Amino acid sequence: MAPLLWAPVLAAAGPADPPVPAGRNPGGFPVAVIGDGFDYTQRPLAQMLARDGEGEIIGYDFIDDDRQPFGTGPDTDAAGIVIGEGQAATVVAIRADVRQIVSLTRAIGYATQSPASIIAILAPISTREVATVIAAAARKFPRHLFILEAGDDGLDLDAQSPAHIAPENVVVVTSADAQGTLTPSANSGSSTVDLAVTTSGVWDRSNTTPAASPSKTAVARITALAARLRAVEPEVTVAELKSRIMALAAASPGKANTTRGGWIADPRRHFWLE
Pick from 157, 142, 230, 233: which is nearest to 196 by CA?
A: 157
Partnered with residue 176 across adjacent β-strands are 182, 198
Q: CA–CA distance from 22 to each of 11, 121, 257 (Å)?
A: 18, 26, 48
In order along its 274 residues, the chain shows pLDDT tens digits of: 333 444 433 333 345 789 999 999 998 899 999 999 999 999 999 999 999 989 999 999 999 999 999 999 999 999 999 999 998 899 999 999 998 999 999 999 999 999 999 999 999 998 888 888 999 999 999 999 999 999 999 999 988 755 456 688 999 999 999 999 999 999 999 889 999 999 987 765 555 567 889 999 999 999 999 999 999 898 999 999 999 999 999 987 765 568 999 999 999 888 887 6
Dihedral sign of CA atoms 86, 92, 97, 98 in order: negative
